[in-house]
């Protein structure tokens, strides 16, 4: 069993990279990819921790991409990127765009009468990418809402009063940067695109033309039927399957590393196939 999608304190998870590796070992996982948002700063620590306890740790991250009107959220998982170079510069720029957007969200919240500052948000963060989950946590701690989900539903989700866009890469640019860094790419949680079957098929086909390598089929929050549909979709487009829990620690309390809600089991061979697809 392996897990190719989870988050540490270097973005919006609540376990450190080392703690995640320890959890992976305790869960009997053979390999782990930590996919923090817009950063590779978790890689060194986790690879070292993995070597110490005998868990294979794959360098990885998760990038947010632009989508056309009418399409929901697109995240791209990037596996085996070499550190340094154009990809890391792009990640640096993305984090800058996030910081600006986070400030604007806090200002917007203050305009609507919520007493919150950037200092409140930064108290919730680890040592990397800052995002909406940290703002949500600050709202919980200040007593404005009872849960992270309620903070998103009330203010932070797309369409809510304090939602603001941030800088993103186009899917084509993201895939190209990843390939140039020696990495392979997988379309994360395809359901978040919010497309019907035909539209999703067309959207994925266009990504395949851009060079997409894989599709995240075994995703912890999807039903067996949904997972099977995504496997069929991957098969039709010659995409490899990937899978993972999207474990975020306390930010997504229903999910456990490796097993998700208890019914996740991503086969080891999927990682070998992914690695074999690395550009050279």
Among 75, 98, 166, 168, binds Fe ion (CB under 5 A): 75
Q: What DSSP string describes 2-63?
A: EE--B--TTTT-SS-HHHHHHHHHHTT-SEEE---BT--TTHHHHHHHHHHHT-EEE-EEEE
Place of tokens 């800058």: 96
CA distance 249 to 255: 8
Binding range to ligand AMP, per CB under 6 A, among 27-35, 115-123, 146-154, 202-210: 146-154
Quick one: three-class SS letters along 127-183? Answer: CCCCCHHHHHHHHHHCCCCCCHHHHHHHHHCCCCCCCCCCCCECHHHHHHHHHHCCC
Min separation Cβ 144 and Zn ion, Å: 25
Min separation Cβ 169 and Fe ion, Å: 14
Among 6, 8, 12, 259, binds Fe ion (CB under 5 A): 12
CB of 2 or CB of 109, closer to Zn ion? 2
CA distance 31 to 18: 14
Q: Give yes or no for residue 164 binding ligand AMP (CB under 6 A).
A: no
CB of 57 or CB of 109, closer to Zn ion? 57
Min separation Cβ 222 and ligand AMP, Å: 15
Among 37, 95, 168, 227, binds ligand AMP (CB under 6 A): 37
42 binds, among ligand AMP, Zn ion, Fe ion, none (CB under 5 to 8 A by kind): none
Min separation Cβ 17 and ligand AMP, Å: 17
**Do the beta carbons of residue 5 and residue 34 sit within 8 Å?**
no
Binding range to ligand AMP, per CB under 6 A, among 44-52, 89-97, 149-157, 261-269: 149-157
DSSP 3-state of 227: helix
Q: Give yes or no for residue 246 binding Zn ion (CB under 5 A).
A: yes
> Interface residues for Fe ion in 185-224 (CB under 5 A)?
188
Min separation Cβ 33 and Zn ion, Å: 11
Residues near Fe ion (CB under 5 A): 12, 75, 188
């Amino acid at each position: 069993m392996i897990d190719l999608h989870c988050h540490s304190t270097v973005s919006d998870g609540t376990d450190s990279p080392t703690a995640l590796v320890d959890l992976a070992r305790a869960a009997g996982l053979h390999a782990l990819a930590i996919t923090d948002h817009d950063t590779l700063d978790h890689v060194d620590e986790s690879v070292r921790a993995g070597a110490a306890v005998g868990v294979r740790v794959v360098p990885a991250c998760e990038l947010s991409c632009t989508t056309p009107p009418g399409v929901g959220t697109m995240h791209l998982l990037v596996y085996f990127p070499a550190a340094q170079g154009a990809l890391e510069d792009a990640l640096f720029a993305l984090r800058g765009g996030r910081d600006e957007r986070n400030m604007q969200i806090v200002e917007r919240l203050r305009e609507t009468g919520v007493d919150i500052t950037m200092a409140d948000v930064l108290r919730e963060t680890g040592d990397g990418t800052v995002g909406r989950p940290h703002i949500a946590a600050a709202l919980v701690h200040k007593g404005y809402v009872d849960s992270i989900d309620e903070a998103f539903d009330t203010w932070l989700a797309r369409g809510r009063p304090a939602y603001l866009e941030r800088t993103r890469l186009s899917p084509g640019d993201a895939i190209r940067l990843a390939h140039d860094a020696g990495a392979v790419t997988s379309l994360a949680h395809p359901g978040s695109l919010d497309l019907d079957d035909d539209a999703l098929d067309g959207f994925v086909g266009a990504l395949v033309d851009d060079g997409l390598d894989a599709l995240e089929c075994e995703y912890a929050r999807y039903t067996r039927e949904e997972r099977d549909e995504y496997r069929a979709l991957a098969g039709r487009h010659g995409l490899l399957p990937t899978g993972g829990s999207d474990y975020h620690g306390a930010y997504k309390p229903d999910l456990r590393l490796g097993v998700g809600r208890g019914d996740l089991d991503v086969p080891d061979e999927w990682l070998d196939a992914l690695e074999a697809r690395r550009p050279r």
